[in-house]
Amino acid sequence: MALKQSLSQKLEQKLSPQQIQLMKLLQVPTAELEARIKQEIEENPALEEGKEEEEELVVEDQQEEKLEEDFNVEDYLPDDSDYKTQISNKGKDEEEHVIPITGSKSLHERLLGQINLMNFNEKEKMIAETIVGNIDESGYLNREIEAIVDDLAFSQNIETTEEEVAKVLEKVQEMEPAGVGARDLRECLLLQINRKQDGDISKYTAKKILENYFEEFSKKHYDKILKKMEIEEEDLKDAIKEIVKLNPKPGGSMREAAGNYQQIIPDFIVTENNGKLELTLNGRNAPDLKVSKTYQNMLKRYAEGAKTSKADKEATLFIKQKLDGAKWFIDAIKQRQNTLLTTMRAILDYQKEFFLTGDETKMRPMILKDIAEIVNLDISTVSRVANSKYVQTDHGIFPLKYFFSESLSTSSGEEVSTREVKKILSEAVANEDKRKPLTDEKLAALLKEKGYNIARRTVAKYREQLNIPVARLRKEL
């Protein structure tokens, strides 16, 4: 096939650097905005904190000379002839995600530390380290003993038997936290309840239930347990209380302790004053930023000079780029403030009844498109505003996504929010007879009586979204 050359015209829509910067800033919550501004100030010396002064600053000759001594633009310029302000191999739209590093030890690190404190010989220590390496974040051993024997033989040239590995595993299961190294939930709970045996009859009963009637317990077939164990209902209740105290994910407790917790800082504050709602933007979203007068004066001096040398031209270009970058960033912050306020005002007006009363049933069905049409912005822009943002109200702090929900038609044809239906479901489950919990069919019938024509599978979907277990698992004595 012969090669051919041809000309073609193509129309593309590209975002300007300012638009890209604004979109990225819109996604940033208040808690991270300060760090983003600090980063920009560090990268761009032409950007400073503080208010812009109305009058032009007069810089005396001596001060100018001192500033020139303190600041040498050549320090910022590369030695080679090709001038670049920064080097990046990433695409212009690609964001850099920084992974937070916790100072606390992980579960594996703590377990390995405990191995050194136990009375293991060299071979047992290597077996124990292999076992710990196969324990997942929840604290469970997710590999068969037979497979561990093979791993030791092939990867570390250690010949051992399943009996030897099982013996070391028993010692690993004595480590902290209690329940670590278990191969299933039943073993995990038994490891924990065994450490609590202090002669208490309820704990002893709990142990026997886990040993002999775990399947009946997990399926909440309490009648079968009462009959087989020949115990009273009160005894079973006390035993269940002991089992509920146990941790089904022992490794999770350490992971939570070592985790990073981010404090929620509201981006908006809504207060009710004599029946009127007042919206304010968190002050951290409106920082005082200004363009450096030092850089402006330097650019003026370089512009007035002859600019005959290459270094002078490069210096002028460098200063201009830094000044433009500072102005762009300040404008982007201001645009961010305006976009946040405009979008939040639209949400406030749309959900006025909820903000006044705090009653979830007053929530109107609302999707991103509804707000986008009101504020005359793209749906993606509204989505960026709603992402990771919080509003503080008289009724609590809510994420902005909380106010978005789909609509549902009642028997009278009225459109209501699915959140209203979920609220009714939650209340129905909370007030049900725990001895005979409401099934999805009964919940659907209850909603139908209230005028909400919802199928059973839809009820099941909403129940799962609310993290409500099925009726069988909600059963209590």
For the stretch 277-326, pLDDT in tens is 899 888 776 677 888 787 777 777 766 665 556 776 777 778 788 888 88
Same domain, 231 and 201: yes
- Residue 303 pLDDT: 65
Q: Counting Cβ atoms within 10 Å, is residue 193 exposed (0-12), middle (13-18) or buried (19+)?
A: buried
Same domain, 168 and 216: no
Backbone phi and psi for residue 398, each to the nearest 5 degrees, phi listed first: -130, 145
Same domain, 224 and 191: yes
Same domain, 159 and 222: no
Does residue 451 lie in a domain region?
Answer: yes
Of 224, 246, 268, which residue sits at a domain end?
A: 246
Q: In which domain, by residue range, is 130 found? A: 119-172
Does residue 14 lie in a domain region?
Answer: no
Does residue 467 lie in a domain region?
Answer: yes
Does residue 475 lie in a domain region?
Answer: yes
What does the pLDDT average to over 187-204?
A: 90
Does residue 426 lie in a domain region?
Answer: yes
> What is the 8-class DSSP label of residue 99?
P
Does residue 310 lie in a domain region?
Answer: no
Same domain, 153 and 203: no
Q: Counting Cβ atoms within 10 Å, is residue 46 exposed (0-12), middle (13-18) or buried (19+)?
A: buried
CATH number at residue 471: 1.10.10.60
C-alpha span between 373 and 333 (Å, rounded): 23
Of 172, 195, 215, which residue sits at a domain end?
A: 172
- Please report, rounded to a whole number, the percentage of residues in the chain having pLDDT higher than 70: 79
Structure token digits, residue 166: 């099982």
As for how many domains the chain has, the answer is: 3
Of 222, 246, 270, which residue sits at a domain end?
A: 246
pLDDT band for position 95 (50/70/90)? Answer: very low
Same domain, 441 and 467: yes
The residue assigned the tokens 């030092």 is 294
Same domain, 168 and 198: no
Residue length of the chain: 477
pLDDT band for position 463 (50/70/90)? Answer: confident
For the full predicted model, state whether its pTM sits above 0.85.
no
Does residue 200 lie in a domain region?
Answer: yes
DSSP string spanning 230-253?
T--HHHHHHHHHHHHTS-S-HHHH
Does residue 362 lie in a domain region?
Answer: no
What does the pLDDT average to over 373-383?
A: 89
Same domain, 136 and 202: no
* pLDDT value at 266 more than 70: yes
Same domain, 136 and 190: no
- Residue 163 pLDDT: 93
Same domain, 423 and 453: yes
